[in-house]
Structure 1
Amino acid sequence: MSKAPGPTPPQYTYVPPPSAPPSYQEAIGGVKPTSPFTPIVHPVTNTTILTTVVPIGRSATHMICPTCNAEIETTTRTEPGMIAYLSGFVIALLGCWFGCCLIPCCIDECMDVHHTCPNCKAYLGRNRR
C-alpha cells in the first residue's frame, strides 16, 4: 500500500511593510531620508591634551589649575598621616597612655598636606609623609 501524497505546505514569502509617507522636509528636498540600516558616520577628531605634573610639596605651590586653568597659589590643609597614627600606636604600646600617644598628631613632619585650588575648590593632590 502506498500512501497518497498529502497537501504540500504553503510557501511563505517575505513582504516588507508599507513605508510611511515622506515628511514635509523630505518631500521638499530639505532632508535626505535615511534607512535604519544605513550607518551614520560622524567625523572623529584626534585631540591630544598635554598636562604637566607640578611637584606638590609641603608648602603652597604656584601652578596653573588643571580644572579652571587659572594661575593660582594652592591652598593647603594638613591632616595626620599614616606615620602619625603608627607612631601614636607604638607610643601607646610602650605604655604612654595619658595623651602622649597623641603627640605625633601635632608634629608637622607627621602630617599629610592636601592642596586645593582657591578659585574653583578642586582637589589638586596630597603630599604624604
Structure 2
Amino acid sequence: MDKRQYGLPPGGQPAQAPPSYAQAVGGVAPSSPYTPIQTSKNGPTIMTTVVPLGPEHTHMICPHCLAEIDTTIDKKPGLIAYIAGFLICLIGCPFGCCLIPCCISKCMDVHHSCPNCKGYLGMFRR
C-alpha cells in the first residue's frame, strides 16, 4: 500500500498544521490591542496597549511610571458647552443663562491623568 495514496508524506507522519498567527508573530493575536515595540536590536520587547478613555475613571497601566492605576479625571467645559452657550445667547436668554451648559456634566470634556506621577494620559471629548 502506497502512503502517497492517503496524502501522507514519504516519512509516514502526517504533516503538521501551519503555525497560528500568535505562534508565528510572537504570541499576540491581530485583534489584540497590544503592539510589540523593539527598543533595540537585542533589547527587550516592550508591550504597550491602547486603552480607550471614556467619561469615567479607567483602569490601566500608566505609560509614564508603569504603575497599575485608576485614572484621575478632571472635567472641563468642552466645545459643545461653548456652542450651546452661544446658541442660548442668540436666543436672547438674559441673566447669564448662557453659562448653564458649562455646569452640565454631559457637556464637559474629561481629562485623564495618573494619580501616581500626575502624567497626562489623554482626553475624552463630547
TM-score, with normalisation over the residues of structure 1?
0.63
Q: How far apart are 1:60 and its partner, in Å?
A: 0.6
CA distance in 1, matches of 2:94, 2:84: 13
2:104 corresponds in structure 1 to 107
Given the alignment of the two structures, is residue 86 of structure 1 paired with residue 83 of structure 2, yes or no? yes
Q: How far apart are 1:102 and its partner, in Å?
A: 0.5
2:121 corresponds in structure 1 to 124
Identical residues among aligned pairs (%):
67
The amino acid of 1:79's aligned partner reads K
TM-score, with normalisation over the residues of structure 2?
0.64
CA distance in 2, matches of 1:97, 1:88: 12
Bigger share in helix: 2
2:21 corresponds in structure 1 to none
Bigger share in strand: 2
Structure 2 gaps, min length 5: 1-39
Q: How far apart are 1:94 and its partner, in Å?
A: 0.6
CA RMSD of aligned residues (A): 1.5
Greater RCO, CA 8 A, separation 6+: 1
CA distance in 2, matches of 1:57, 1:118: 17
CA distance in 2, matches of 1:62, 1:120: 15
Q: How far apart are 1:46 and its partner, in Å?
A: 6.3
Structure 1 gaps, min length 5: 1-43
CA distance in 2, matches of 1:117, 1:97: 40
Given the alignment of the two structures, is residue 58 of structure 1 paired with residue 55 of structure 2, yes or no? yes
The amino acid of 1:81's aligned partner reads G
Q: Secondary structure at the match of 1:51?
A: strand
CA distance in 1, matches of 2:51, 2:85: 32
Q: How far apart are 1:97 and its partner, in Å?
A: 2.9
Number of aligned pairs?
86
CA distance in 1, matches of 2:55, 2:87: 25
